Every structure is written in structure tokens, then in C-alpha cells.
Structure 1
Amino acid sequence: MTDSKAVPTPRERKKDERTTLPVFYRQVVAELRKVVWPTQQQLTTYFLVVLVFVVVLMAITSALDLGLGKLAFWVFGGRD
């Protein structure tokens, strides 16, 4: 048996106590103060990048759907 205390055994684990609501709220506020919030310009840039990316992916998906649909109709003899 090893003398390592890196992983406690079930007997060594103490019963976890629940955090009270006020303590939880203070911890949340403290963590939110650490957040680096984006500026208005960064937010606008991020929004536009995501919007362009989504539109491009929609166009690619639509083109593939249309092309593969026409190919399936051609292969299986469906009407155009």
C-alpha cells in the first residue's frame, strides 16, 4: 500500500456541506467581476463574423442539398 495522499479514500473524504444562497451569490458576483467584457466595437465585429460564417454555411448546405437532390432524381429516374 502506498503512503500517497493524492486521492483520498472514501473514509478520508469529509461530507460535502452545501453552500448557502448568500455565499453562492457573493461567489457569482466575484467571478463576474473577473470577466473581461468585450467593447461595443469588438461585439459588433464578432457578430458580423458569426453572421457571415452562418450565411456562407447556409449557402454551401443549400447548394449541396439542391445538387444531391437533383442527382438522386436523375439516378433513380424521378421527375425533374
Structure 2
Amino acid sequence: MANIKSAKKRILVNKTKADRNKAIKSGVKTSVKKVYTAIEAGDKAAAQAALLAATSTIDKAATKGVYHKNTASRKVSRLSKAVNQMA
């Protein structure tokens, strides 16, 4: 355990940031899962609606620095491609 006051503060701040990042990443995973669930069900309208929500969630995560912008772009691209390839 840290003895220096600034080190103790860093531990607390890092824990807070890690919890926030974990919550945001979890939200992204959930929204991505909803898109793939709609694709597997064959419901194109639901998949497109879920894609819109997932894109928004991913972009917000990238804006907050949880994901790198290229990672966010790649995730959105793969989701869009999956929805567009539906029959």
C-alpha cells in the first residue's frame, strides 16, 4: 500500500477511471450483441435500429477516450457490413 499522499490519490483516481471505462466498454459490448442478435433473428429493421444505437454508443466511447478512434471505426464498419449483408 502506498504511503505518500499523492500516490494514495493516484490509486483512487485510477480506480475511478477504470470503473468508468469498464462500464462504457460493457455498454458497447451489450449494444454490439443486440445488433448480432437481431441479425441472427433475421429482423433487418431491428438490426438497423440496433446498429444506429450501437454506432452512437461506440462513437461516444471513442470521444471519451475509452477506445482509439481507429478501433471505434473498425467496430462500426464491421457491424455495418454485417447488417448490410443480411438477405
- TM-score bucket of the superposed structures, by smaller chain: 0.3 to 0.5
TM-score (norm 2): 0.42
Which one scores higher on RCO, CA 8 angstroms, separation ≥ 6?
2
* TM-score normalised to structure 1 length: 0.45
Larger radius of gyration: 1
